[in-house]
Homo-oligomer: A and B are copies of this chain.
Amino acid sequence: MLKLYHAEPAANSLKAMIYLYEKELPFESRYVDLHKFEQHEPWFVALNPEGQVPVLDDDGAIVNHTTVIGEYLEDRFPDAPRLRPNTPLGNARVRYWNKFVDEHVMNYVSMWGWHRMVGVIARGIEGGEFDKLMERIPLKDQQEKWKTARSGFSEKDLAHATRKIEDAVDKVDAHLAKNKWIAGEEYSLADGNFYSMCGMMIARMFPEIGSEKRCPRLLEWVARMNERPGVKKALAMPNRTNPALRTFTGEAR
């Protein structure tokens, strides 16, 4: 039996749920409450020493990092609806785009999400309690991100993140002029990746970038993604975040 430890349907948690629903694989959902920092609890860190969601548990086999989870599901369930062409060149294209999203998109959209949401949360925690929370975070990078969110990301870093998002949107929009899906003619893991990390929230989160004028093909692709039954099911998963703080889905700014 598959079990997914996940948070709200946005970013990495959404991505893993899209993969599972698109492949029509039944799974047990185990909600991890990030508002209560459950991902840093000893029981969760025992499962994933990095203290991050989502995590897939396949009958005791533990897989983390959503790009790796996506490929794992392809290898593990070859008879389920496929999200990878399984030709050498087709797979290379999926992996090229996954690397692009993982290395040049995700962290920059995330910085703005953290700036708008986690900064507010972090500044609301009293100093001594904040230090205790920090001590429990296993990844040093993640500790630093929390501390920076609390003190505020620099204007320079935020401007750089904006430029990276602009470049990514322009690249994907130009690419979609000649390709139906992100990795070519076939719907794939790369679509779920770019959608969860950027596409699903771009128009709400960055209206000046995700505009009809700047990226019409990208927005047309988002509309097609929104209609997919697997995507709909993933988006319908519970969202317990305070609506005023839903910056990762762009519902709040």
Contact = CB atoms under 8 A, between A and B. Distances in A.
Contact of A65 (B67, B96, B167): B96
Contacts of A61: 88-89
A76 interface: yes
B68 A96 contact: yes
Given A68-B95, A68-B99, A140-B167, A75 B88 contact: yes
B72 A88 contact: yes
Contacts of A79: none
Interface residues of A, number: 26
Number of this chain's copies in the assembly equals 2
A249 interface: no
Determine chain A's interface SS by DSSP, over half rule. helix
Nearest to A167: B140
Contact of A71 (B76, B95, B163, B167): B95
A176 to B, nearest CB: 16
Given A72-B92, A89-B72, A99 B63 contact: no
Given A102-B99, A167-B140, A71 B89 contact: no
Interface string A45-84: 0000000000000000101110111011001100000000
A11 B172 CA distance: 28
Contact of A75 (B65, B91, B167): B91
Contacts of A92: 63, 68-69, 71-72, 75
A245 to B, nearest CB: 27
A158 to B, nearest CB: 16
A159 to B, nearest CB: 13
A103 interface: yes
- Give the 9 A-B CB pairs with smallest separation, nearest first: A75-B88, A76-B88, A72-B92, A68-B95, A63-B92, A61-B89, A68-B92, A72-B88, A68-B96
Given A72-B88, A99-B102, 15 more contacts: A63-B89, A64-B96, A65-B95, A65-B96, A67-B95, A67-B99, A68-B99, A69-B92, A71-B92, A71-B95, A72-B89, A72-B92, A76-B88, A102-B103, A140-B167
